[in-house]
A and B are shown apart, each in its own frame.
Chain A
Amino acid sequence: MSVADQAPRFASPVDQRMWSERIPAPWWILGLILLLLPIVANNFWLFQIMGWTFILGMIGLSLMFLAGYGGMVSLLQMSIAGLAGYMVAILGPSGAANVSLGLSWWIVLPAAFLIAALFATMCGALAVRTDGIYTIMITLAIAAAFFYFTRQNYSIFNGYSGFNLVLPPKLFGVNWRDPLPFYYLSLACAALCYGAVVYLARSPFGLALQGVRDNPRRMAALGFNVTAHRVAAYALASVFASTGGILLVWQNAQIAPGTIGISSAIDVLVVAVVGGMRRPLGPFIGAFIYVLLQVFSTDILGFFGFSADRFKLIIGIGFLAIVLFSPDGVLGLWDRWRARMAARKAATTGGGA
């Protein structure tokens, strides 16, 4: 008997069921848990662990969109997120009053998304001319250049010190940086981004992007401009990264070159690979694992007698284990476990059918 593939590489563009029927039961349960989490979780869990998970998940999601659907592994997503975050700090109010423009949020937010999308499009136009390892190299090079630029540029990026006191606007009289509002804000953004990716995967654009990943030559012979499609994917993915980036500045109330350093760029890749790149849920799972390890590394490492700054060691070992044992990340492990359970069940009930 064949082991059913839990994650179809493509989804059908036409599904005639109601949207509510299409969502399987486990999702309703997960949604309910996330909505009701504040009843049991303390502020540290809501703000630090879950908030950060959602943010990192969204930035990882933008990579998943490019890599999983488009076959383009970009190390730029943290830079794009960081640029959106920087724009919020530069255009809006911040502690660095001599640099920040202090514009109001309804100009700042659209401008941040737009500028980040322009940057992503330009970088994408450079990167899509390369393949595989060269895409990784060129995007890493751009990420590094951007990092050093922000460190040395004082007139726009305020150099080494960056920006502090970057706070979210007090819309509806709510302080969105309080743990509970921030939890719901980041949850809503993450859910929206996740839903958008799931939806887009089956739109003509998303379907074609997956076609470009699998057989670019055939796509061109069907009338698709493969290069334009890839560049557009970079632009689209920037929206998810920017959402994460803006929330990240608000969560930290500051942004500095360190936020967008090389190691952060690589962390995004680690998050997506550990969680699984084939489905939009992967990066969120990866982000959750990453955040848990990072936050509790002191305890874990202390238990084994290492110092806390060795946390990267755990991440590294985990990354290695995942890459070696499950190229599809944690979600891939889960798929295989379910397939094995299903096979065992079929063997006990179905007999020699």
Chain B
Amino acid sequence: MNAPVVSSRMNVPGAGNASSGNALELRGITKMFGALAAISDVTLSVKPGERRAVLGSNGAGKTTLFNCITGDFLPTAGLVRFFGEDVTVFPPHERIRRGLRRTYQISSLFTGLSVMDNVYLACCGVSRNRFSLVRPRPDDALVQAAEILVEAVHLTADKDRLVGELAYGQQRQLEVALALSGAPRFVLFDEPAAGLSPTERAELVTILTSLPAHIGFIIIEHDMDVALRVADSVTMMHNGRIFKEGRSDEIESDPEVQELYLGGGHAHH
């Protein structure tokens, strides 16, 4: 068994005791691509409803970490627990059905489908209707759920347009809507704000901060501004390892972080 290598700055009370009580718990996750260790020995836990930002330079292994959590890749070593259940070797759809959701750094949408159909499909995926051979009626519960989600990401005016025709920012918003279908318990957002205009960023921050309190998430974000506004705690990654964890305000004032992030002409405040 791996030693619980939780950073001393970790703000998770009771992180040392049993896995119960954590929405997500990673222990010693390592992912090798050939000889390259994309992530090594990552140990991390997030409480239900907690909002965590993951920061790190390009190639730090953030997306790879997400892929190990969702099962897109199996980790080379380590353990993934989702609400206490060991899901390390579960296929992705089994994790999704347990309430895990994700967005992709590079939008992964059905471009030949309308906005509404994309969201409808997402709603079907986490319902028993997956295999239904009967076309939905307009008053179908899933269709209505999809309409609410489309509304939530401000795409109602474009709901019948093909996704391929949408502006980039709208596609990013749709990507978020897909991750909120059904009854999510924990969401992984992979750079949802990348490439968005300042207005769109503000909208995204509103969407994220107004999520129901029981929904926790991890957000990968290069923009410190966005990250610190939506997250309670921050994990810093570098070269596939976690090198710092703490509450958002601690991280913000940390000299090392300031040098790395705020000093590099990155911030605009």
Q: Shortest Cβ distance from A231 into chain B, in angstroms?
A: 11
In the complex formed, the residue of A with least CB distance to B109 is A218
Chain B residues with CB below 8 A from A221, complex form: 70, 72, 92-93, 96, 101-102, 104, 108
Within 8 Å by CB of A199, from B113, B132, B135, lies B135
Within 8 A of B (CB), among A180-218: 199-200, 202-208, 210-211, 214-215, 217-218
State in angstroms the CA–CA spacing of A229 and B97 once bound together: 15
Interface stretch, picked from B10-18, B33-41, B118-126, B230-238, is B118-126
Chain B residues with CB below 8 A from A207, complex form: 113, 117, 120-121, 124
State in angstroms the CA–CA spacing of A217 and B109 once bound together: 11
State whether A220 touches B117 (Cβ < 8 A).
Answer: no
The reply on A149 being an interface residue by CB < 8 A is no
State in angstroms the CA–CA spacing of A176 and B91 once bound together: 50
State whether A204 touches B131 (Cβ < 8 A).
Answer: yes
State whether B70 touches A208 (Cβ < 8 A).
Answer: no
Chain B residues with CB below 8 A from A223, complex form: 93, 96-97, 125-126, 130, 182
Query: Provided the pairs A215-B110, A225-B91 are in contact, do residues A208 and B130 lie with their beta carbons within 8 angstroms?
Result: yes
The reply on B23 being an interface residue by CB < 8 A is no
Within 8 A of B (CB), among A1-25: 8-10, 12-14, 16
25 pairs, A vs B, C-beta closer than 8 Å: A8-B112, A10-B114, A13-B117, A14-B137, A203-B134, A204-B121, A204-B124, A204-B131, A204-B132, A204-B133, A205-B130, A207-B117, A211-B110, A214-B112, A218-B108, A220-B92, A220-B96, A221-B92, A221-B93, A222-B121, A223-B97, A224-B125, A225-B91, A225-B130, A236-B133
State whether B114 touches A12 (Cβ < 8 A).
Answer: yes
Q: How many pairs of A and B residues are in contact by the CB < 8 Å rule?
A: 113
Per-position contact with A for B143-157: 1 when CB-CB < 8 Å, else 0? Answer: 100000000000000
State whether B130 touches A204 (Cβ < 8 A).
Answer: yes
Chain B residues with CB below 8 A from A63, complex form: none
State whether A222 touches B178 (Cβ < 8 A).
Answer: yes
Chain B residues with CB below 8 A from A210, complex form: 110, 112
The reply on B204 being an interface residue by CB < 8 A is no
The reply on B181 being an interface residue by CB < 8 A is yes
The reply on B264 being an interface residue by CB < 8 A is no
The reply on A232 being an interface residue by CB < 8 A is yes
State whether A208 touches B113 (Cβ < 8 A).
Answer: no
4 nearest A-B residue pairs (beta carbon): A222-B125, A223-B125, A9-B112, A223-B96
Within 8 Å by CB of A208, from B124, B140, B178, B182, lies B124
The reply on B195 being an interface residue by CB < 8 A is no
State whether A14 touches B130 (Cβ < 8 A).
Answer: no
Using a CB–CB distance below 8 Å, which chain B residues touch chain A?
70, 72, 91-93, 96-97, 101-102, 104, 108-110, 112-114, 116-117, 120-122, 124-126, 129-138, 140, 142-143, 160, 178, 181-182
State in angstroms the CA–CA spacing of A214 and B130 once bound together: 17
State whether B93 touches A12 (Cβ < 8 A).
Answer: no
Chain A residues with CB below 8 A from B142, complex form: 204
In the complex formed, the residue of A with least CB distance to B118 is A211
State in angstroms the CA–CA spacing of A14 and B137 once bound together: 6
State whether A14 touches B97 (Cβ < 8 A).
Answer: no
Q: Shortest Cβ distance from B9 into chain A, in angstroms?
A: 32
In the complex formed, the residue of A with least CB distance to B120 is A13
Q: Shortest Cβ distance from B139 into chain A, in angstroms?
A: 10
State whether B136 touches A14 (Cβ < 8 A).
Answer: yes
State whether B93 touches A226 (Cβ < 8 A).
Answer: yes
State in angstroms the CA–CA spacing of A77 and B256 once bound together: 64
Q: Shortest Cβ distance from A196 into chain B, in angstroms?
A: 9
Chain A residues with CB below 8 A from B96, complex form: 220-223
Chain A residues with CB below 8 A from B110, complex form: 10, 210-211, 214-215, 218
Q: Shortest Cβ distance from B3 into chain A, in angstroms?
A: 32
Within 8 Å by CB of A204, from B91, B116, B136, B181, lies B136
Q: Shortest Cβ distance from B47 into chain A, in angstroms?
A: 23
The reply on A118 being an interface residue by CB < 8 A is no
In the complex formed, the residue of A with least CB distance to B126 is A223
Chain B residues with CB below 8 A from A16, complex form: 138
Q: Shortest Cβ distance from B73 into chain A, in angstroms?
A: 11
State in angstroms the CA–CA spacing of A204 and B116 once bound together: 13
The reply on A301 being an interface residue by CB < 8 A is no
The reply on A219 being an interface residue by CB < 8 A is yes
Within 8 A of B (CB), among A30-72: none
In the complex formed, the residue of B with least CB distance to A219 is B125
State in angstroms the CA–CA spacing of A225 and B121 once bound together: 13
In the complex formed, the residue of B with least CB distance to A201 is B135
